[in-house]
Structure 1
Amino acid sequence: MLKVAVIVPSLQEKGPVIVAENIAKFNLHGDIQFIFVSLRNNSAEDRERFNKLGLKFVEVGMGKFPTYIAIKVLKEKVEDIQPNIIHAHSFWPTILTACSLENYIKVVTLHNNPYEDFYFEYGKSIGYFMCVTMKKALKYFDRVIAISEYVKEVHGNFKIEEKCEIIYNGIENRNDSIKIEVENNTQLVVVSASVLIQRKNILTALKTVNKLIQEGFILNYYILGDGKQKKLLTQYVNDNELDKVVHFLGKQPREKVFSYLKMADCVLVPSLSEGLPLSVIEAMMMQRAVIVSDIPAMGVIVENDSEGYLCNALDENEYYEAIIKMMNESNRMRLAQKAHQVYLEKFTVEQMSRKYGELYFRIAEV
């Protein structure tokens, strides 16, 4: 039995954890055992989710930053597991695996563009320090997995070329999700599933919706997620009397997210920076056309006027034109069918899990 210790910040349903969870949940190799090591303690809800999935986990109890005691506990937890491989996801798991867990075969998955994401989230000074620290940490890994060609490219000066390979994120097929039913007398239902932070650029989406309403178009815009910009975005909606058009639904369980995507006519993802956005792949899995920002990560998934529309990230006029095009049902169906085809070809969870399984056996000394 091959044992893989999966180091994650927590069990909370965020991008890297969803990917790690799916690798384990859809593992096609019966002789791989996954044990998750969560650096932080978790909510009862997240623990219950893992228990229902039959996924084993242990908790280190780390706070916001690692301490000597937390590192000691991490080492002890991993020693108890006796893994053949350690697989790290996200910043602190990567750093602590590199500097604290010696004499193991180590794999890390790179989920983002650190130069953009860390700078957006933490500012230039701290973001730069995090990038430098990450670059040093990657030297201690046996394999580095980039989730797209773009992510591999932006890590080019990290000197990982010889040990880096690409495995796309995969999403499970959830077309059996129950569709959310709402009263709909509109020309279009648009959905965004996003954390409400600057990098996700929801304010530009709201400005686009405002322009459409001012021009006499009728639509509903549902936003799934919460975050630091919630107050700012709500204020914009109230100031422009969009409260009957824009619906903030807060953070939703993953099951509900799929149901809302099924309700959508199209999905809007106007991010300023992404690695390989799960929300776009989820929309394509649900056979929904997408409108996305024209940033490098999106070009890996979407070709303009094929699976959806690419728009200048901060240009509300381009989003405006794209949404109007989506109001044509036959055009929307054409894009949605192509989007689903691309999902089946490149982004299924079975493909992702199989490739990681093959990687583990290839590098494991068993």
Structure 2
Amino acid sequence: MRFLLDAGQREFARSLDGMLTAARTPAAVRAWSAGDHGPGRALWSRLAEAGVFALAVPQEHGGLDPHPVELAVAFTQLGRHAVPGPLVETVAAATLLDHLDDKTLAATWLQGIASGRTAASLCLLTPDSPYALDADAADAVFVVAEDTVGLAESAGPVQPSADPARRLARPLGTVVHARGPQVRAAAERAADLAALATAAQALGLGRTLLERTVDHVKHRTQFGRPIGSFQAVQHRLADVLIALEFAEPLVHAAAVALAAGHCDGPRDLAAAKLAAGEAAYGAARTALHCHGALGYTEELDLSLWIRKARALRTAWGTPAACRARVLAE
């Protein structure tokens, strides 16, 4: 099978890329890391105007109906530009609400998500994962614990993170709004979409790391020659490119499987998340190596992408969990 994006999807990607390039996202990322959400929420509104969040919301609530392939296209661009905020969690929360039997809860929140007025966080509460992403910035924090879903009344203090732009906090004072087996099924659908969006983000992030590193090694000289002319550097960059090229069709295939409700969807999602996460992490390691001591500095914008790569590698499915899911399927 040969999978290619159609003309509309490619134009959507180009328009988002142009918008985010003009927006100079590194400044918004640094502000978000410091607790200033203003620039990030302004960017959020522009993404909503472009229809990004509406791609996860049914038409009856002001959305465009769920479109996993287009969401993967959008989140690849969001990863390319390291856009801050609970982006994945918001579309995952929309999926959760859409699949609950409680239509009142959906009617209350989905229209705001589609329009960009509401930024949501989603925490599938387990002993290993007690935190919600950007709970201090979200308008609603949904907490799923076993067969219940509720809204957190507040959040605990922000915890240190490998990526300062990913602000983690414990949700506090959860008020239960729905319970039953349908909550588990809806949470599984939400987690699947979150895994897809995270894989797409990682893919885009890896592309930017590779592009910036290739540009750097063309101009950085050593022993009177660009370091990009050294075979060892070329081999490392080639390995990164190959990993990203192999991950991209897996991400697209997972999006198609999720859209079609295919029985191989869980396996495809796990494979995509694993491949994209490992490719982005490999790109970050190579970028750090090729930039030398410069790569360790926070002043370099590249650090915003490098630090995010490790977080995306484990978010919504660790490598070990994804491998186990592929083997189980």
Q: TM-score, normalised by structure 2?
A: 0.28
> Which of the pair is proportionally richer in helix?
2
Q: TM-score, normalised by structure 1?
A: 0.26
Q: Which has the larger radius of gyration?
A: 1
